[in-house]
Amino acid sequence: MKKQFFLIAVFFVGLLVGCTKETPEPTAKHYFASWNECEALTALQQYVEDVTNPASANFIPQKDRIATFDMDGTFIGELYPTYFEYNLLEYRVLDDTAYGNHAPDDVRQAAQQIRDFVRNGTPLPDHFDMIHARAAAKAYAGMTIAQFDAYVKDYAKHSANGFVGMTYAESFYKPMLEVFDYLEDNGFTYYVVSGSDRFICRALVESLGIEPNRVIGMDVKLVSSSQGAVEGVNYTMGREEEIVRTDELIIKNLKTNKVLQISQEIGKVPVLSFGNSGGDAAMHNYCLSNRLKSAAFMLIADDDARDHANRDKALALGEQWRAAGYHVISMRDDFKTIYGPGVVKVPFEF
């Protein structure tokens, strides 16, 4: 009887082992379903495979796997018809009568310049990035951080001008979100380093699970709600107080300012850098100066069928970025989809 039981047990163990062998191993996560095969994606994958391989001479410890991403035009749309923060200021001053009726003259002028650019093609003044930054600081002064966050999110619920099937809050480039997942699963920590207002960026990327402390952007001075003109070093805020925006611009986070902010806030030189414009070149160069193996990527908006783009300008920029030693991502050639299924480009409406 014992012998019979033993033989039956051996049979079932063998059966289980046989079944285990026949069960296919789970397939690896497919990160890049929204990408076509392309030079930029191959370069990224080869880079990551190399620097995460402990046997490689280029191995990078996880603590040093830092990646920085510009926001507008790098992983969120900026061509409908301009930066989100520009659209928001235009709305705040010219459409939101609760504020617009009281807007200072220089703030109203900046908002009108954006509207004239968007609707009539009137060129923006030189150094408009700073004109806008100073106007925006004034336009939202007095708002608490919570109020401003809610204001940004409410505006982001609007349908994205120039598209059907998408709000501003949903206007992420799907292929670039796959890059986030890929890097995170390979031990990289990525930061958003944008020229846009830090708190606008935080509101927009919250839905992606990006923590606020990984967002760097334009900054205005903050005070506590009862602090008044007293310097913070001479004032102790109470428990009932809130943090309030002022009209004092601290920094416009573009070009070399991005590098300075990365150094100050992250404290490490990135090994990967992603951008889409000349405002990101300094950040890329800083990355490529790293003693560790590094790489920089520029996205060009060359898809005038699925997005609002100036293809000729984009192609010229692509050549410029390649000459600078950056990998170039083509929205037209490298992305199977930009915003995802159901999103269709249509003429702008005003």
User: Domain with 338 in it: what CATH number?
Assistant: 3.40.50.1000
215 inside domain: yes
- Model confidence over 205-251: pLDDT tens digits? 999 999 999 999 999 999 999 999 999 999 999 999 999 999 999 99
pLDDT at 3: 45
Q: Which residues contact 256 (CB under 8 A, 6 or more apart)?
A: 282
* Distance of alpha carbon 38 from alpha carbon 15, whole angstroms: 45
Q: Which residues contact 245 (CB under 8 A, 6 or more apart)?
A: 137, 140, 141, 142, 143, 144, 145, 148, 199, 220, 222
5 inside domain: no
Secondary structure letter of residue 177 according to DSSP: H
Number of domains in the chain: 1
Low-confidence ranges of the chain (pLDDT < 50): 1-28
8 inside domain: no
pLDDT at 29: 59
* Distance of alpha carbon 295 from alpha carbon 41, whole angstroms: 12
289 inside domain: yes
For residue 56, CA distances in Å to 44, 295, 349 come to 16, 17, 54
27 inside domain: no
- Fill in the amino acid letter for 137: A
pLDDT at 78: 85
2 inside domain: no
101 inside domain: yes
24 inside domain: no
In which domain, by residue range, is 198 found?
A: 39-345
